[in-house]
Amino acid sequence: MKVGILGLGTVGGGVINVLQKNSASIERRTGVQIELVIAGVRDVTKKRICDTSNIKLTEDPFEVVNHPDIDVVLELIGGFGLAKELVEAAINNGKHIITANKALIGNHGNELMKLANKKQVRFLFEASVAGGIPIIKALGQGLSANNIESVAGIINGTGNFILTDMKEKGRDFDDVLKEAQALGYAEEDPTFDIEGIDAAHKLSILAAIAFGTEIQFSKVYTQGISKITTEDILHATELGYTIKHLGIAKRVEDGIELRVHPTLVSNSQLIAQVDGVMNAVMVKSDALGTSLYYGAGAGDEATASAVIADLNDIINNQTSNHILGWKSQEKINVVDNDAIVSEFFLRLLVSDIKGVLSKVTGIFNDHNVSIEALIQKQVDENKNAHIAITTDRVSTKTVMNIKKAIEASDFNQAEVQLIHIELLD
């Protein structure tokens, strides 16, 4: 099996290292010797984390996808401009594709997979979601006898690292973000990670595989973690919760929910214990019940593990040409965020004056929403107070109306923080 690689950064270098280190066991599993023939790179003189002495390096990526001897192309450069052109060219040349590029799949996966089916080549992407965790194979193969009810996961390590450090060390968001950048966990421009875009790409892929529908990245409700404060974390902890940035896909009566946002999770849940840069995905299905998939969501060899697993599948012909694991796709409505019903956490900063608590609870009563728990604490020299509230189940639209009513009141002192509470049972 002759392989060409596009990109020799962290993931590409990891793929070469793992293939070289584990070549004997991989050949025993497949009965085939994998030969790395050519790699497209930006600078052939750059020092790399892998040995490339037996691989031709080229600064022309189209030399890789047009190479007559190549059977499989590994697309590991990222983005969806040049990457899309290269993948299309490779498919049209009859080459199988393996990619770790969630942005490419989230934005163009539907059309690229249809093209791959037309050309009768495989298009695999296990490494695009949750790094080395084989969640795509679990959903598409291991759980194929089940009706999937929900998928919920920590699928961005950067956000999880930030929230973990904020909780464990009492640090504020900006401070931890700077450390994450210094450690290489966050990019110089961290927008995709901290505002949930990266997680939304990944969730759209997981939902399509779980429910047998097209990838619908544009319909994912997306909210980041940049507005989470130490006060939110402290109050959540006192109420028995941990704040996690979750991607949630759930089958409901009116269709499916697709959402990425900060979420309060009960400390009794396993996923609440997933800390640092680790990833975890919880799947609820009718036959198996609830299962949790945990592991490294990034890193050179962890991601390489998933890339090479796809390569082995192509060799062993274990995956079908069905799109996203389904012979036919279903048109399923994505529920509008306003209609989603959940429990919620609200944190208020209000004037600590006589009768303010009754005014706050009165607003909830006016909207027929029950308060489950309430904490009030004086927090500053101006005698303002934080009030943390958890609600009974209520629609997002209703709780947003409560938020607006509080913010319009004469006692309110700041924007009301609003966070979902998810019952992952």
Q: What is the DSSP string of 164-214?
A: HHHHHH---HHHHHHHHHHHTSS-SS-HHHHTSHHHHHHHHHHHHHHHT--
Other CB atoms within 10 A of residue 188 CB: 5
- Percent of the chain past pLDDT 90, that is, above it, reads 85
At 43 the pLDDT is: 94
Asked if residues 224 and 375 have their Cβ atoms less than 8 Å apart, the reply is no
Mean of pLDDT over the chain: 93
SS3 assignment, position 127: helix
- Please check the confidence at residue 319 and state whether its pLDDT lies above 60: no
Above 90 in pLDDT, residue 382? no
> Cα–Cα distance between 129 and 140 in angstroms, integer?
13
pLDDT in the model for residue 259: 98
| 105: its two tokens | 């799949």
Label residue 125 exposed, middle or buried (CB < 10 Å: 0-12, 13-18, 19+). buried
Angstrom distance (rounded) from CA 75 to CA 72 = 10
As a whole number, mean pLDDT of residues 213-236 equals 96
Mean pLDDT of 86-113: 96
Catalytic residue among 137, 202, 244, 250: 202
Say whether pLDDT at 213 is over 70: yes
Residues 6+ apart with CB under 8 A from 281: 130, 133, 135, 151, 152, 153, 154, 155, 206, 292, 293
Q: Is the pLDDT of residue 381 over 80?
A: no
Question: In the predicted model, what is the mean pLDDT of residues 380-397?
Answer: 90
pLDDT the model gives residue 4: 97
* pLDDT recorded at residue 298: 82
361 and 409 in contact (C-beta within 8 Å)?
no
Q: What is the pLDDT of residues 228-248, one digit of tens each?
A: 999 999 999 999 999 999 999
Q: What separation in angstroms does the CA of 332 have from each of 135, 210, 251, 257, 322?
A: 22, 12, 10, 10, 18
pLDDT digits 0-9 by tens, 257-305: 999 999 999 999 999 999 999 999 999 999 999 999 999 888 889 899 9
Q: How confident is the model at residue 316 (pLDDT cuts 50, 70, 90)?
A: confident
pLDDT of residue 299: 84
For residue 321, what pLDDT band results from cuts at 50, 70 and 90? low
Mean pLDDT of 16-42: 93
Q: Which two tokens stand for residue 338?
A: 């306003």
pLDDT attached to residue 221 = 98
Check residue 243 and give its pLDDT: 98
380 pLDDT band (50/70/90 cuts)? low
| pLDDT 10s digits, 117-157 | 999 999 999 999 998 899 999 999 999 999 999 999 999 99
The yes-or-no answer on residue 202 being catalytic is yes
pLDDT interval class at 323 (50, 70, 90) = low
In this structure, what are the phi and psi dihedrals at residue 180, rounded to the nearest 5 degrees? -60, -40
pLDDT, position 329: 80
pLDDT for 206 beyond 90? yes
pLDDT in the model for residue 320: 55
